[in-house]
Every structure is written in structure tokens, then in C-alpha cells.
Structure 1
Amino acid sequence: MLNEFIRSFRLMGLSIAVCVVAYTALILATASVVAPEKRLGSLLYGSDGQVIGSRLVAQPFTRPEYLWPRPSAVDYNASGAGGSNLSPTNPKIRERADAILANYKLKDGATLPADLATASGSGLDPHISLAAALIQADRIAMSRQVEVSTIQELLQRQAASRSVPTTDSEGLVNVLEFNLLLDSQLKSVESL
């Protein structure tokens, strides 16, 4: 009977070594060759070499000179990704949407795209639709003291350069990448 326990523990140790250590090392080595920039999480670096964030995870931006992301049900905490789990009839959803609408001073008749009023399933979606980005162009241009057309042109280029598949033809804008682009190409406003 003792021999059976010893054999079981050896098999368990071998399974852990193969499934956890060897498999992980193989995947990391393959990723290093196939997609070296993505293997560590698609990190974005500042001019000083410091990591600013990942192009795959949303960050909160609330200053008027920056593009704002979708709301997050998890307060942009990547370790706690998930939705709010509130039902569509829950009054808290309406309260949250009303608070969000108040932040966007919309012109008469303008509607806010759904992705600016609702959180994504993970709460960490780094992209917004081009329509959601263009709604913010006036605020960004006024804060940075540039023409609205300059911001709109940058947004159009950023959306056109994205390789993320979308269900519509308008494209997506990565909020962090666009904000870094704003700081590098326009009048820089303090560091992120």
C-alpha cells in the first residue's frame, strides 16, 4: 500500500512538472518568438522607459484634455474583472447612466453612444467606438486649445489604423494609445 502512495505522489509530481512548469515555459518561449511585444501583456512605455499601461486594459481618465474610456463596473481593477451583475430593470443602472450623461455636456439633440453609458462585460474594455470618441472631440480641443478638426482627424486616423475586428464599419479607438498620441503630437499637458 505504501508503494501505491509513493507511485501516486511521483505521478502527481510528474504531472505538475509537465502541466505547470514545462507547458508554461513552452508557451512563453513560443510567444517570445511569435509575438515578443505581446508576451508580457502588450505594454506601452513612456518616453522615460516606464510602463504606462497595457493596450489591452482600460485605465480611468477624467481630465478634460483626455479621451475618456467606457465606464467600468470594477473601477478599472484588472484583478477583479467583471460586470456589475445588475439586471436591466435595476434602478441603479438608470442612476449610473444619468450620472454619466451629466458628465457629457451634449449639444441639443445629440445622443450619447451606448459604449460611453454602459460598462463592458469585463469592465476593462480599452476601446471605444469612433462615434463615442468623436463626441468628446470638442471638450478635448477646447482643453488643449486646438481646432476641433485636428482632434477629429487624429481620431479618424487612429480608428482606421486599428486591427481589432468590429461589428460595424466605423472602427474603434484605443483610449490609452490615443491619449499618448495626444501628448506626443499636441501641446503636452502634464504627464499621465
Structure 2
Amino acid sequence: MKENIIPAIRLTLFCAVFFSGIYTMSILGIAQLAPNQGNGEIVTVNGKNHHINVAQKFVENKYFWSRPSAVDYNAAGSGGSNKGTNNPDYLAEVETRIDSFLIKNPSVKRSEVPSELVTASGSGLDPNISVQGAKVQAKRIAESRKISEEKVLEIIKQNTEKPLLGMLGTEKINVLQLNIELDKLK
């Protein structure tokens, strides 16, 4: 037993120094090379700073809506609901979201509602929706803002992010950026 204690203490001390010091400083150094020194992309609108990489809550009809959030869009405590897809409470919550979405978007069929508009992401802070998630909201936004639906679809097209390297991931749209572009229309 004595022959195992000394190596165990050495390994513990090495891991403590490596993971709390060397590794942490290495990641911090790499982050300094990234845009905004690893703080994420910040945009200022009307004197207020917003993080592009964190979901924002939009509930007005004139805006695109983000994914639902299990943490009410609180970036200080991200997380999901931890309810399984067959949990009755979770299913009831998703049904309520679908019904609410259909009331505000009467031209959309139940089968056309993208899942990301009625289910929260794992972090509860996903800032992006799919192109389809944006397109099903276009008519509501156009009517609310009294502009053509084609104009809203053009804004969607202009703000669509392509997959990384043209093949990794899917097309997506940042909801905050999309809504900022909408507000620029007067």
C-alpha cells in the first residue's frame, strides 16, 4: 500500500497544477486569438449591449421568435429541463407551445412547425433557428410590420449562415441579427 500512496499523491499534484494552471492558461491564450478575445460577439443596439451567441427572448409579433428556453434565457445558468421526450409534463408543454405558435401563425399547418420552435435546446440559450423556422414566421411578421412577405423572406435569405466549410452542419439564422435587420426597416 505504501508503494501506491506516493505515486497517487504525485499524480494528484501534477493534475492539480496542470488542469488548474497550465491547461487553463493555454485555453485562455488561444481565446485571446479569437475575435473579441473569447468573449463572444457583442453588438450594441440603442445603447444596449447584446451577445450574438446567446439567445434573446422575443415575444412581440413583429419579431422572429427564438427557441424556447428552459432557463428563461438566463445566461448565468444555462441548462435544459432534463425531461425525457416521453415525459407527460414535457409533452404537454410542447403541445402548449405548438398551440400558441399556431394561434399567432394561423397560416401555418401543424405539420409545418419546426421542432426547434417548440422545444428548448440543451443549453436553453441557442441563438439560432433553422431557415424553415424563420420562413414559417415570415407572414406574421410581414403583417405586423405592414411590409411585404417577400421583403421579410429577403432579409431571411441575406442573414442565412451557410454550413462550415460548405458541408459541416446545416444552414442557420441568428435570431438577434435577424431582428436587428428588421428594426433597421422604417
TM-score, with normalisation over the residues of structure 1? 0.74
- C-alpha displacement at 1:73, in angstroms? 1.5
| Distance of aligned partners of 1:108 and 1:69 in 2 relative to their CA distance in 1, 3 Å threshold | closer
Q: Of the candidates 98, 101, 105, which is equivalent to residue 98 of structure 2?
A: 101
> Aligned residue pairs: how many?
172
Q: Which runs of 4+ in 1 moved over 3 A?
A: 14-27, 47-50, 161-165
Q: Deviations over 1:86-110 (max 9, x none)?
A: 2222222232122212322332645
RMSD: 2.9
Structure 1 match to 2:86: 89
Are 2:147 and 1:149 equivalent residues in the alignment?
no
| CA contact 2:43–2:49 (8 Å) conserved in 1 | yes
| Distance of aligned partners of 1:87 and 1:16 in 2 relative to their CA distance in 1, 3 Å threshold | closer
Q: Answer with 68-77 or 109-118: which moved more.
A: 109-118
Where structure 1 has 5 or more consecutive residues not aligned to the other structure, the ranges are 1-7, 188-192
| CA contact 1:162–1:173 (8 Å) conserved in 2 | no
- C-alpha displacement at 1:45, in angstroms? 1.9
Structure 2 match to 1:39: 38
| CA contact 1:58–1:76 (8 Å) conserved in 2 | yes
Structure 2 match to 1:186: 185
| Distance of aligned partners of 1:130 and 1:16 in 2 relative to their CA distance in 1, 3 Å threshold | same
TM-score, with normalisation over the residues of structure 2? 0.76
Percentage identity across paired residues of the two chains: 36
Where structure 2 has 5 or more consecutive residues not aligned to the other structure, the ranges are 1-8
